[in-house]
């Protein structure tokens, strides 16, 4: 069976954002065109971030896929680690503020920034 690896940005039990990888079975379709199940979505949004863009720490407002269409995007976590995504790469952003918590930029969320000399173009698909 073929598998697609979904990169997930999530909120761990300590309230901090982390990455993990999850398998998505491609067990439908035909041998020439392996497919996953059909997932629901709640709309999509395109974004262009200019050279030099960098956000502050924030949590994702609603779970969503982020697909990099052009440029490069770096996601930084509270532990000082980061991961860079380029064209054709993705991650599923689900690092929501824990229920009942007040946002603390020293604990919660992630930051994002454009990397390199090309504007960042992303497609967000609500999950």
Mean pLDDT per 10-residue segment, the chain (127 residues): 94 97 96 94 97 97 97 97 98 96 96 98 96
Which residue in 111, 112, 19, 114 sits closest to 72, CA to CA?
114
**pLDDT (0 to 100) of residue 23:** 97
Which residue in 71, 70, 66, 53 sits closest to 126, CA to CA?
66
**pLDDT (0 to 100) of residue 1:** 72
**pLDDT (0 to 100) of residue 104:** 96
**pLDDT (0 to 100) of residue 122:** 98
**pLDDT (0 to 100) of residue 127:** 87
Q: Is 22 in contact with 5 (CB distance < 8 Å)?
A: yes
Domains recognised in the chain with CATH numbers: 2-126 (2.60.120.10)
The pTM score is 0.91
**pLDDT (0 to 100) of residue 69:** 98
Q: How many CB atoms within 10 Å of residue 47?
A: 12
DSSP structure class, residue 62: S
């Amino acid at each position: 069976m073929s598998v697609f690896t979904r990169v997930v940005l999530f909120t761990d039990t300590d309230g901090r954002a982390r990455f993990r990888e999850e398998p998505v079975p491609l067990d439908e379709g035909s041998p020439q065109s392996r497919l996953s199940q059909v997932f629901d979505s709640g709309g999509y949004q395109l974004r262009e971030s200019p050279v030099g863009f960098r956000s502050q720490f924030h949590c994702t407002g609603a779970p969503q896929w982020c697909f990099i269409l052009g440029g490069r995007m770096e996601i930084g976590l509270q532990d000082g680690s980061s991961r860079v995504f380029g064209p054709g790469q993705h991650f599923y952003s689900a690092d929501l503020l824990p229920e009942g918590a007040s946002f603390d930029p020293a604990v919660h969320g992630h930051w994002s920034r454009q990397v390199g000399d090309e504007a960042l173009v992303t497609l967000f698909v609500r999950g």
